[in-house]
Amino acid sequence: MQRFNDIEAWVFDLDNTLYPASQNLFAEIDVRMTAFIQDALNVTKDEAFRVQKDFLGEYGTTLSGLMNVHGLEPGPFLDFVHDLDVSILTPDPSLKQAIAALPGPKYIFTNGTKGHAARVCERLGLTELFDDVFDIVSANYVPKPNPDIYPVMLESFGIAPETSAFFEDMARNLTPAHKLGMATVLVHEEGQDGAKKMNMPEKYCTHDEAHIDHTTADLASFLTALTTG
């Protein structure tokens, strides 16, 4: 694939990208977010779920909305929603082999926390493959797809956008990366964008196809083709 001939660094989203969305870890996150909001705002479960999804769509993360609208402190929220049973995830040896074979450093760019990334990667057997993680705390709580945080991420990793690739399950999160010059790959199953998998309101699920260089439902096979094809 010619777009990848000059790639020297590889950046991956974490959730629903390094494991299939069908493994449904986000269902557990959903439940915990709704419960936290219900308690913090003293609202019904249905209202808490609506707030969660509207904030996710409008602000990039539910947390960002809670911070901006309600002045919520991020620490307790992040600790609560990431207290997950990651045993639901299934390691994929073919993906591990495919990532390991990529030439150059590999990184994780996530709206979650480094602790969450560490637990997920340990479960998936991918821990030793990544050179660094840029998380929501590193971003000073400015989440994807806010375009201001992408140059900060690149500078943190010490990589240039023109020689970097970004893999992500939410199409709208690829747009700022592509505008900076990164090669972009949308990773999703059954033709369904990650925003819809997360029950985000339809008005927040739009994206520009021009900012997606490639789409794959099988990340391991896609990466393998880059190094063996």
Per residue in 50-108, pLDDT (tens digit) is 999 999 888 988 999 999 999 999 999 999 999 999 999 999 999 999 999 999 999 99
Chain-centroid distance of CA 228 in Å reads 26
What stretch of H or E contains 160? none
Residues 94 and 181 in one domain: yes
Whether residues 121 and 218 fall in one domain: yes
Mean pLDDT of the chain: 92
Residues 108 and 72 in one domain: no
What is the reported pLDDT for 192? 54
pLDDT at 186 over 60: yes
One domain, residues 103 and 183: yes
Considering the domain architecture, whether residues 94 and 74 belong to the same structural domain is answered as no
My answer on whether 129 and 158 are in the same domain is yes
State the residue range of the domain holding 69: 25-81
CA–CA gap between residue 31 and residue 19 (Å, rounded): 19
What three-state secondary structure class fits 194?
helix
Task: Walk across the sheet containing 9-12 and list its strands.
Answer: 132-134, 106-109, 9-12, 164-168, 183-187, 214-216
Q: How many domains does the chain have?
A: 2
Given pLDDT bands bounded at 50, 70 and 90, which one contains residue 134?
very high
Overall pTM surpassing 0.85 (yes/no): yes
The whole-angstrom separation of Cα 209 and Cα 214 is 10
- Shared domain for 10 and 63, answered yes or no, is no
